[in-house]
Chain A
């Protein structure tokens, strides 16, 4: 390779890197996904215990029996509210922690227009999903809550993948498929939820961590 060749190649690589850095938020840490998955899995396990259900057990009607449940001194709605808040705060908190840490290690700003654009684009489908799920609960269709959460979350990831590491596009697609499957098999709602928010997050987080952080620490 001649001197000239090398120079042109470097120029092209530089252009590609600048385009990437200026348009995508790349500090998203794989550990964020991993920790969010652990919280989700723990939350699902506790919910399974509350419902008195084991994974893979088939009972298409369990969502309809929720109103009669009373365990550990908690009504079903109280239990699920607490469980949801703990999982949500834990997952979000740890995700923010690991991503901030990665940005700091790489010397990148955490709060810049790229992050704002990413968050806005995540928030639009997510907030729509949140309100939609409130509507489902209002109408008593609690069996559809888990499928709806998976579908809207998947759509949010696919949509937001344009503004961060492209890999989350495939994670999003997988969440959507799980959500659609769960729509037709209501008895598997909790299981699909645990797979989508727990297992997929852990697997993907680990994959992303190895791909972007272990092999290329900086």
Chain B
């Protein structure tokens, strides 16, 4: 039991970060505003969670201009995908243990 808990990734230990990773696992290059609408969080809150995932190199950022408006999109990295899947596996294992 203890070993499995150790497999849980601290970086994903928050609703918003879980949400960001879930979205990026099934979508390529998502916009900041799309996260905001799907997860119902404020700009500042979302930005800080994105930054922390970025620091872990779980997601990558692409900044470009669409016309004159800056457009920032995000994608999951290979490392991020593997880590998140390992985290989900650990969660599932925990659920399969009889309490």
Contacts of B15 in A (CB 8 A): 14
Q: Identify the stretch in B20-28, B47-55, B61-69, B74-82 within 8 Å (CB) of chain A at 4 or more residues.
A: B20-28
Q: Identify the stretch in A2-10, A96-104, A164-172 within 8 Å (CB) of chain B at 4 or more residues.
A: A2-10
A11-B18, A14-B18, A15-B88 are contacts. A22–B95 as well, Cβ < 8 Å? no
Question: Chain B's nearest CB lies how many Å from the CB of A144?
Answer: 39
Q: Would you call B86 an interface residue if the criterion is a C-beta within 8 Å of the partner chain's C-beta atoms?
A: no
Contact with B38, one of A8, A12, A15, A21 (Cβ below 8 angstroms) = A21
Pairwise interchain contact B25-A1, C-beta atoms closer than 8 A: no
Question: Chain B's nearest CB lies how many Å from the CB of A120?
Answer: 15
Closest to B24 in A: A22
Contact with B99, one of A1, A12, A21, A22 (Cβ below 8 angstroms) = A1
Report the bound CA distance from A5 to B19 in whole Å.
19
Q: Would you call A18 an interface residue if the criterion is a C-beta within 8 Å of the partner chain's C-beta atoms?
A: yes
Report the bound CA distance from A5 to B97 in whole Å.
9
Contact with B92, one of A1, A2, A4, A12 (Cβ below 8 angstroms) = A12
A-to-B contact residues, CB < 8 Å: 1-2, 4-5, 8-9, 11-12, 14-15, 18-19, 21-23, 109, 113
State the total of A-B contacts with C-beta under 8 angstroms: 47
Q: Would you call B34 an interface residue if the criterion is a C-beta within 8 Å of the partner chain's C-beta atoms?
A: yes
Pairwise interchain contact B95-A2, C-beta atoms closer than 8 A: no
Report the bound CA distance from A140 to B71 in whole Å.
52
Pairwise interchain contact A11-B38, C-beta atoms closer than 8 A: no
Contacts of B27 in A (CB 8 A): 22-23
Closest to A16 in B: B22
Report the bound CA distance from A113 to B27 in whole Å.
11
Pairwise interchain contact A12-B95, C-beta atoms closer than 8 A: yes
- What band does the interface of chain B fall in when counting residues whose beta carbon is under 8 Å from A? 10 to 19
Report the bound CA distance from A19 to B19 in whole Å.
8
Closest to B30 in A: A22
Given contact pairs A15-B88, A18-B38, A21-B38, a sample of 16 additional A-B residue pairs in the complex whose CB atoms are under 8 Å apart: A4-B94, A5-B94, A8-B95, A11-B18, A12-B95, A14-B18, A18-B18, A18-B23, A18-B39, A19-B23, A19-B25, A22-B26, A22-B30, A22-B34, A23-B27, A109-B37
Report the bound CA distance from A23 to B27 in whole Å.
7
Report the bound CA distance from A197 to B94 in whole Å.
48
Report the bound CA distance from A193 to B54 in whole Å.
53
Pairwise interchain contact B91-A8, C-beta atoms closer than 8 A: yes
Question: Chain B's nearest CB lies how many Å from the CB of A109?
Answer: 8
Pairwise interchain contact A22-B91, C-beta atoms closer than 8 A: no
Contacts of B37 in A (CB 8 A): 109
Contacts of A12 in B (CB 8 A): 88, 91-92, 95
- For A4, A19, A21, the residue with the greatest tally of chain B CB atoms inside 10 Å of its CB is A19
Pairwise interchain contact B95-A5, C-beta atoms closer than 8 A: yes
A11-B18, A15-B88 are contacts. A23–B26 as well, Cβ < 8 Å? yes
Pairwise interchain contact B99-A5, C-beta atoms closer than 8 A: yes
Question: Chain A's nearest CB lies how many Å from the CB of B67?
Answer: 18
